[in-house]
Structure 1
């Protein structure tokens, strides 16, 4: 079973979909229609669910060595294979539309995988193994040799065409498997184009020309990503990853590229993250504002306003599909074995049905962050959304909920949810002059103060010396680090200082990682970056800097973070690349830079 570690994968994107390519040269995940569509390569979740390997035949043998890196400020990945007989480079990308630049990237992506092989020294024997399995491995396509030397694969609604420059390809029933040699200076380009069986045929691109165009399209974003603070290279790379997780047609940011990568190997907390969470919204907005530009942030904001629509009595869904779809019901997929046999594999995510009271607060906080950019008075949709969310919080904040970690057991009065309810009312009071005659800042302020008093009274545990995860609970939860981040309580407050110390002692590790709670077997990267922010806000900038530098070492060799890190092995866990981990890095780096926190 040739299944790689999560950290072995590099991320390719055309801002429509994404692919994962392993150090061994195998593309093991690609959902070509859009991020949350069915895969044509799914070996990530099952060894028989499809892949496309392109690498020296010596991969994995003694004497073979791999180096890889992204071309700067792009998601174009160059992998150099050093084999006993010579060296060869394979450059992988998802093609941009010809002529696309900057924010046009992804608007009309052609859904073409590009792989360009370049001989560097000696004469290297390469192996190609193309085995598509559409519809998450359920379909075995017919493969047909074409007169031009390409191979056409058709199954169900999917049509794929694989071509190579000057290298005729031949199908063996349900796969293409052949070897060829590459000499120093020789270049062979491959393109794999996706199309719909009953729609437009796959696009034909010249691989080397399309690769150059794709690099130019990514590099054009450098002009608008102008962050110049601390850890600039890391921040720019994380901003590029966030751009790669953005579905360009709507502006929505997918929480991750993948589904069902486990929080624990062999465990069942395996969820589909290929959607956009409103909870992530304020943090995403802040990160895009810091590391990108207002245009990207405002496009995401427009998507949220349209997706939420007119607010009624029903809770606002926690997450949406990439074009604002509301019903993304979850189902299990028994035919897939799961990553390292971690079952079940799930498509869809039933968290959209949960009541999570922090969500309106995240959205209103984002409106508040963008208040000056949005103008002195809001348009009807923005005004109605903000008023509706505020009134929803006013009427529901006393209820229990499932919390930001989306527990699937009982509702509780989670502290972080109450704090975000406070944030919603606090920001709404400040926004009231822009919300028209229906704004009621006096009543909102009274509710704000009532929530604050409840949090301070019910959330603090004197015996433990810390704020705990839920009212009346003794269980620690790293989500309480959000209190200083949203300005509920200064990090210098004695109760907050004590909380930080307790969390570091009970949930922290020598590697700089922070678990979410006592029974969590893995370090949660976002929480670790929250701790960096809290230390800065508490005046411990040197310790914060040291912690930041330890946490970022848990990225893989091409700077990608998944969701968590196994404390026993150091292995990455959870869906990847994880937007919140990269958002946490950006926001922590800015906190280390921001002179107002001195």
Structure 2
């Protein structure tokens, strides 16, 4: 069983942690404590880093689909002997409904096998390797037929209904047969070895409860616009990437899946980015409800804390941790040999001048729901961010793509500095006596003049990625989306055309810059939005449908798509890709009113 393509994986979530299960029936990624905790199954990043395979012993033809409005995945294997279905889920708390989803997830992985036709031999191989593959656990057979795996800070209990499981030295192997109507359930429960015992669930009952919990959650969220099935599924994926206890949305489930196989641009995305904040809130507003948006906003305000002279970090841990320093796992080979494998992300140390613009823009989006008078913490945050922009906007930074070479005067960073002060001026009546709207307005106008003068390249006929650069960058598409310039303005229209011509592709995908090895899904949806705003609705529709076609068979997007092969690349599933889908669908629905 070789390493599958990234697009072969389906996503399971309990809004505390997430797992990836391949078309071949192998769970190759699970960090059970929370999204950014160490894995117990890590074969995604190394063949020896742990997995749990369950499926027919012979060759099979596979059909997969999520139960509607859930992250419960049903895979049907058609073999020469008959057909069998495996349904996978991370268990919801029994009785959880609506916004209780994920608040007290039991950290149990459920797998239920159903015989559909014929007699099919099914195999199981359970080989956990905690601490990202550093540990090989002791396996203890229990009197009830289960197996307890213990190593370091991890205890896992695997049970199969009606089965007595036997342990080899370092793994459990088992075979059984199912016929029409037969059901065999498995539950794998995680706990700390020195804490409370693991939760014990009936897998069939728990699976039904989990389906009901997801369905009840989605019933509270309405969307009546175009592409409703895709938007609802995208919103479900976003919910699955939400750490329910805090409201933070993880950028992706995984770490170190490469932007180019064999390359070294392999980063840990299991954290929450302030840069993505306004786009995420807009998507939650469109496809979810204000509760999710408000909880995410509250997490951000608490994580940022009191603002001083130091730049606000671009990202935080899921409970607001600031220091998420990066290190490499030298013992792992990496996906398709792509090393290094990184844990943590040192971009948190970078100066990112666009971050205040994202946060203040999000406050502006929510201002009608935050009251006529903001509380002290909110006032201090907005004023502090505005003052930070006013004093630092002339500095270079690393840019929204988090360059690790040198700082530059990036166009998108300057425009978001303008956005920060533009929205702060509009919010000034709610910010108290410390708000200095007249001074902010003067600086805002100075930033605008600077961008229009230094961001435009006459030779290229476009706004470029950085001042003085001839390099196109898809982030220039943000200008009309941030209301800096109309999409119909001559220079902006020329920029949109240049990006589409030079960074676009026959697959409908847009690269971030000319040497980018793959199409960036979010940028492709940005182009859809810009075309709508430029009055080209039909072209935008065609492009949207073309980009949708790059999702995998269960509607998931990674970060990027290889332009030559069409295969997905980067961390999976990627929140920004689904955010881009939702926002572009809404733009297609309400082009003039969003």
Query: Is the shorter-chain TM-score for this pair beyond 0.5, marking a shared fold?
Result: yes
> For the Cα contact (< 8 Å) 1:272–1:346, is it kept in 2?
yes
Residue 573 of structure 1 corresponds to 569
CA deviation map 1:62-109 (0-9, x unaligned)? xx2000000000000000000100000000000000011111111100
From 170, 193, 197, the equivalent of 1:197 is: 193
* Partners of 1:126 and 1:336 in 2: CA distance: 30
1:36 and 2:36 equivalent?
Answer: yes
Query: How far has the Cα of 1:221 moved from its partner?
Result: 1.6
Provide the rounded CA distance (Å) in 2 between the counterparts of 1:596 and 1:572. 33
| In structure 2, distance between residues paired with 1:586 and 1:24 | 30
Distance 1:585 1:67 in 2: 24
Corresponding residue number in structure 1 for 2:26: 26
Q: Which residue of 2 aligns with 1:517?
A: 513
Q: Which of 51, 76, 85 is equivalent to 1:89?
A: 85
* 2:130 partner SS: coil
Taking the aligned partners of 1:111 and 1:413, their CA distance within structure 2 comes to: 45
**Kept after mapping to 2: 8 A contact 1:536/1:597:** no
Q: State the secondary structure of the residue aligned to 1:172.
A: coil
1:475 aligned to 456, 471, 476, which one? 471
Contact 1:537–1:597, Cα closer than 8 Å, also in 2: no
Partner of 1:277: 273
Query: Does the 8 Å CA contact 2:142/2:148 hold for their aligned counterparts?
Result: yes
Any gaps of 5 or more consecutive residues in structure 2?
none
Q: Which residue of the partner structure matches residue 525 of structure 2?
A: 529
* Match of residue 111 from structure 2: 115
Supply the distance in 2 between the matched residues of 1:219 and 1:495 (Cα, whole angstroms): 47
Q: 1:218 aligns with which of 204, 214, 218?
A: 214
Q: Deviations over 1:521-566 (max 9, x none)?
A: 1000000000000000000000000000000100000000000001
Q: Counterpart in 2 of 1:551?
A: 547
Residue 35 of structure 2: SS of its match in structure 1? coil
1:184-333 equivalences in 2 (<5 Å) = 184-333=180-329
Superposed, which structure 2 residues align to 1:372-391 within 5 Å?
372-391=368-387
Q: Secondary structure at the match of 2:592?
A: helix
Count of paired positions: 594
TM-score, normalised by the number of residues in structure 1: 0.99
Distance 1:373 1:96 in 2: 30
Write out per-residue CA displacement over residues 252-295 of structure 1, whole angstroms, 9 at most, x where no aligned residue: 00000000000000000000000000000000000000000000
1:594 pairs with 2:590: yes
Q: Which contiguous aligned blocks of 4+ residues in structure 1 show a shift greater than 3 angstroms?
A: none
Distance (Å, rounded) in 1 between the aligned partners of 2:518 and 2:591: 33
Residue 424 of structure 1 corresponds to 420
2:7 match: 7
Conserved 8 A contact 1:256-1:577 = yes
CA distance in 1, matches of 2:356, 2:123: 52
Separation (CA, whole Å) in 2 of partners of 1:203 and 1:369: 41
Does structure 1 retain, via aligned residues, the 8 Å contact 2:532–2:591? Answer: no
| Equivalent residue, structure 1, for 2:50 | 50
- The superposition leaves residues 408-442 of structure 1 with CA deviations (integer Å, 9 ceiling, x where unpaired) of 00000000000000000000000000000111111
Which of 435, 438, 444 is residue 434 of structure 2 equivalent to? Answer: 438
Q: For 1:55, what is the secondary structure of its paired residue?
A: strand
Offset at residue 388 of structure 1 (A): 0.4
Relative to structure 1, the CA distance from residue 95 to residue 192 in structure 2 (aligned partners, 3 Å threshold; closer, same or farther) is same
- 1:596, distance to aligned residue in structure 2 (A): 2.1
Aligned equivalents of 2:591 and 2:398: distance in 1?
37
TM-score by length of 2: 0.99
- The offset of 1:224, in angstroms, is 2.0
Deviations 1:147-177 (A, max 9, x none): 0000000001100000011011111111001
- Per-residue CA deviations over 1:166-220 (Å, capped at 9, x if unaligned) read 0111111110012110111000110000000111111100001100110011001
Give, in angstroms, the shift of residue 222 of structure 1: 1.9
- Per the TM alignment, residue 597 of structure 1 is displaced from its structure 2 partner at its CA by 5.4
CA distance in 2, matches of 1:126, 1:368: 55
Cα distance in 1 between the residues matched to 2:219 and 2:502: 44
The corresponding residue for 2:537 is 541
In the other structure, the counterpart of 1:493 is 489
- 1:210 & 1:30 partners in 2: Cα distance? 19
Deviations 1:492-546 (A, max 9, x none): 0000110111111111101100000010110000000000000000000000000
Work out the CA distance in 1 between the residues paired with 2:337 and 2:49: 14
Q: Indicate the residue corresponding to 1:350 in structure 2.
A: 346
Give me the CA root mean square deviation.
Answer: 0.8
Aligned counterpart, 1:147 = 143
What secondary structure is seen at the aligned counterpart in 1 of 2:204? helix
